[in-house]
Structure 1
Amino acid sequence: MALDILDIPLNSFLEQALGKDEDAWPPEARFVVAAHRGNIGRLKEIARRLDKNGKRGVDATVAATTYQGMNALHAAVRGLGKLAVCRYLVDQVGMDVNMWDTSESKKTPLEHAVAGGNLPAARFLLDHGADLHQENEKGVTVIHLAAMKGKSEIVKLLLSRGADVDAKSEEGTPLHLAAVKGHESTVEVLLEHQADINKLVPSCLLTPVEAAVFAASTPCAKLLIQAGANVNGVNHCLARAAKDGLTEITKCLLEAGADPNRPDERGRMPIELAAVYGRREDVELLFPFTSPIPNVADWSVDGIINHAKLENMQLMDDDAVNMRKSDLKQQGDEAFENQDYTKASVLYTKALRADPYDCKMLANRSRCWLRLGDGQKALEDAIKCKISNRDWGEAHHREGEALMMLKEYEKACEVLTRGLELDPENDEMDKLFWEAMKLKRSDACTSATLRNGSPFLCSLT
């Protein structure tokens, strides 16, 4: 994997590429190091040598010289906070404060300043027109980078200049990135600025607290839990904490109301996961809060540990698992046909232990939840189904049904529109789409009436 120039100090980056003897480096490399160190005299001296015929002039040569995609400004703002070189490059040479470097990752001067933790340089660039809203192809901006690097003071600066505390990207919001990297002080700053503690990352459906638990960032998880994060979201925080032996997080989750009787995506209870993957201490912690599991004959701490280990050994046999999965699916289908939706959901859950992202099984279980009137669980399964196969119209159909039950008519219309693009012959989905459109308009009319006090306005929408 190629090394990103923002991942390590510039000097170290160049030493790894060129060796420790700077005198043997190309002049362009020595040039960017001079800028990095804030040595204007050295910078101009090397520029004169590079301008062999004296045609361009020193300032023009300074502006045009690059190494490994970086110009002098990119290197200077990653330095030691010496603003004299920044003023020279921007005010006298006229370098663009928003110019990307030409490396594969394409970073602006402001991103270089953030990566280097150079607060004075970041402030200087913003004062001179740096765009803090510039996005890369994944929607990442400098507020995301600052949060991911744990640069709390720069995060404060960016927020004071108008950065969005809940800025979206494919990798999450700033709070997600700070939490998953374990930057406690940065999480505190973002929470002080009212960051959304329950925002989902569309690509993986993680909330900030789930990201912290998945990354085993105990201090960040505690902060988010204490701030009121939803501890019973899609990704089963308690189950993950129990599996990874995160005792302190498990305690916090239980105190915050996490459901110890909610299984993970494979149908395993937190106490079962603690028994197999965690520690006895965690089993003892969960035991008083967990309802007896029907197929555990000896409901005691030792009995649970022995049962969980035996079942885990059985699941390691792939042929047996696939056969069991097929049988359970068939039994689930039969129970569904007999309108025994509770039994069907249990059977599908057991079958999903072998493959937690089996699209058809998730779609089937989503239908069970719908019949049982649990729109939230239906939506969670439908979203997992869609993540597994984004081009399957049925996944969008199930998500649309769940959103309808939750009265999210506008979102339902969006999802069903995409579903019909994928499966235009699906009459049932088409009918549901038009029903969603009707309810969306009705909902809008009701809102307009409440706001304006006149039903006449509805006819104008």
Structure 2
Amino acid sequence: MGTRHIPLPRLYELLLGKERDRWSPEARFIEAAHNGDVGKIKKIAKELDVQGRGIPATVANTTYMGMNALHAAAGCGSFSVFEYLVEEVKMDVDLPDTAQQFTPVAHAITNGNLPAVKYLIDHGADLHQQRAKGNITLLHVAAVHGYSEIVKFLLVRGADVDAISDLGTALADAAIRGYPSIVKTLLEHNADPNDARCQFGPLSMALQKSSVARVKLLIQGGANVSGDSPRDNLLIKAAEKGLTEAIKCLLEAGANPNVPNAFGRLPIELAVEYGTREDVEILFPFTSPISTVENWSVDGIISHVKMEIKQLEDDNFVKERVSDLKRQADEAFKKQDYLNASMLYTQALKMDNFDTKLLSNRSLCWLRMGDGQRAFGDATKCKRMRPKWAKVHYRQGAALMFLKGGDGAEVILPCMPTAERSEAHAESQALLFVLLD
């Protein structure tokens, strides 16, 4: 079942009151269309036709709050009203309303009216239409509202299963909204669960919503679980939410439990803090020993993380420890020991993940080690916290230039939001000018 909507008559009652005699004739006209009452449509149109244009012309051109008769009829009108409006009056089946830019068939989908959708498509409505705002297709609308039968119909009729909107694919929409049946249908019609054009993949969205059912479906459908960067670390998300079954599925599908998040914390460490002992036990055989954990066992890692959490509650300890780690990292960097420097900066970030200098320095370490994606990730995160800091713009530009010079550019750039991609591109061009000057 899809999301609920306020029926149009009820909406008008809330706005105009229950006494319909006080409504404007345009409001009563649109309500009549919504109710599929052809006789009343004609009667009110005759009342509105003060210029003598004729009833068909008046019916076609009368609107209220941006909607015409066909938009309203698409909600729950009968076939007789469609036959009258489309076949006799010849109303445009692809004309969007002026309020939401929804066409009649989009209104029909929003209201879950499958017979109306079929009728309008059969009578010329564009199956591949996209809403001007957001590039939203009919398939996106059906997926967002959870109408599985309409999704099936659109796919059978030839809708593009991988059509992209500003928010992603229909599969991504269904994954984040929580409709396993639609996820299953889209995958059965060969939807791509790894579409690089999506800012966030369907599997990531399913984990964000703690939907193990959708996680399983997506993995069975071929979703990639081997993210090797903090941005797409799926095990991290599962561990943070304590999703035991999702952790099992991801590990069975080959997810790497030894990739830390942006602050150097592994899934097993997060499982201690946010999950259960079972989660830790599941992750333990697949996790490489952590050098700072003296007793490498399930009990040992639990004790270690709990001690870290307790220490983080002591402000003086945190300040002293971060200062000491930063000093050691700076010394390692001066010796060009970038690996140890990055590890030390990571340890410090585990204790203070809002220190932009640590992020900036680690970004430079990644760059010196040839890891442009991590360098760019740290610089971008740092820029969000200090957007006016000149150094971080330089860091991001340097990382982007490195990526554009290698294979990584085509991997990361399409996944960035359009505005951020344009801004980063401009910064890289400015940096290139400085370096070449």
TM-score (norm 2): 0.82
Counterpart of 1:121 in structure 2 is 116
Q: For 1:40 and 1:273, how far apart are their aligned partners in 2?
A: 62
Q: Tell me the secondary structure at the aligned position of residue 405 of structure 2.
A: helix
Q: Aligned residues: percent identity?
A: 51
| CA shift in 2, pair 1:99/1:364, >3 Å | farther
Counterpart of 1:87 in structure 2 is 83
Q: For 1:364 and 1:302, how far apart are their aligned partners in 2?
A: 34
* Contact 1:139–1:169 under 8 Å retained in 2: yes
Q: Structure 1 counterpart of 2:122, which letter?
A: D
Counterpart of 2:173 in structure 1 is 177
Q: Tell me the secondary structure at the aligned position of residue 171 of structure 1.
A: coil
What is the CA-CA distance between 1:155 and the residue it aligns to?
2.5
Q: Number of aligned pairs?
A: 419
What is the CA-CA distance between 1:173 and the residue it aligns to?
1.2
Q: For 1:169 and 1:358, how far apart are their aligned partners in 2?
A: 35
Q: Please, which runs of 5 or more residues in structure 2 have no aligned partner?
A: 414-420
Q: For 1:273 and 1:69, how far apart are their aligned partners in 2?
A: 51
Return the structure number with greater relative CO, CA threshold 8 A, min gap 6.
2
Q: For 1:49 and 1:367, how far apart are their aligned partners in 2?
A: 74
Q: For 2:322 and 2:26, how far apart are their aligned partners in 1?
A: 62
| CA shift in 2, pair 1:394/1:228, >3 Å | same
Over aligned residue pairs, what C-alpha RMSD do you find? 3.5
What is the CA-CA distance between 1:7 and the residue it aligns to?
4.7
1:189 aligns with 2:197: no
Q: For 2:252 and 2:378, how far apart are their aligned partners in 1?
A: 27
Q: Tell me the secondary structure at the aligned position of residue 85 of structure 1.
A: helix
Counterpart of 1:456 in structure 2 is none
Superposed CA deviations along residues 99-119 of structure 1, whole A, max 9, x for unmatched, are 22122x322222211211222
Counterpart of 1:34 in structure 2 is 32
| CA shift in 2, pair 1:248/1:267, >3 Å | same
Q: Structure 2 counterpart of 1:158, which letter?
A: L
Q: For 1:295 and 1:121, how far apart are their aligned partners in 2?
A: 64
What is the CA-CA distance between 1:249 and the residue it aligns to?
0.9
What is the CA-CA distance between 1:190 and the residue it aligns to?
1.6
* Contact 1:152–1:186 under 8 Å retained in 2: yes
What is the CA-CA distance between 1:407 and the residue it aligns to?
6.5
Correspondence list, 1:434-453, <5 A: none
Counterpart of 1:439 in structure 2 is none
Q: For 1:403 and 1:396, how far apart are their aligned partners in 2?
A: 10
Correspondence list, 1:228-239, <5 A: 228-233=222-227, 234-239=231-236
1:222 aligns with 2:216: yes
Superposed CA deviations along residues 355-398 of structure 1, whole A, max 9, x for unmatched, are 76877655644443454455664565566568778993542431
* Aligned partner (choices 154, 158, 163) of residue 158 of structure 1: 154
* Aligned partner (choices 419, 426, 436) of residue 418 of structure 1: 426
Superposed CA deviations along residues 30-54 of structure 1, whole A, max 9, x for unmatched, are 3323222222122223333344x47
* Aligned partner (choices 67, 72, 75) of residue 75 of structure 1: 72
* Contact 1:357–1:384 under 8 Å retained in 2: no
What is the CA-CA distance between 1:122 and the residue it aligns to?
1.9
Counterpart of 2:417 in structure 1 is none
Counterpart of 1:283 in structure 2 is 280
| CA shift in 2, pair 1:254/1:50, >3 Å | same
* Contact 2:398–2:431 under 8 Å retained in 1: no
* Contact 1:382–1:399 under 8 Å retained in 2: no
Counterpart of 2:101 in structure 1 is 106
Q: For 1:360 and 1:238, how far apart are their aligned partners in 2?
A: 28
Superposed CA deviations along residues 300-332 of structure 1, whole A, max 9, x for unmatched, are 434433433343354456787677656645543
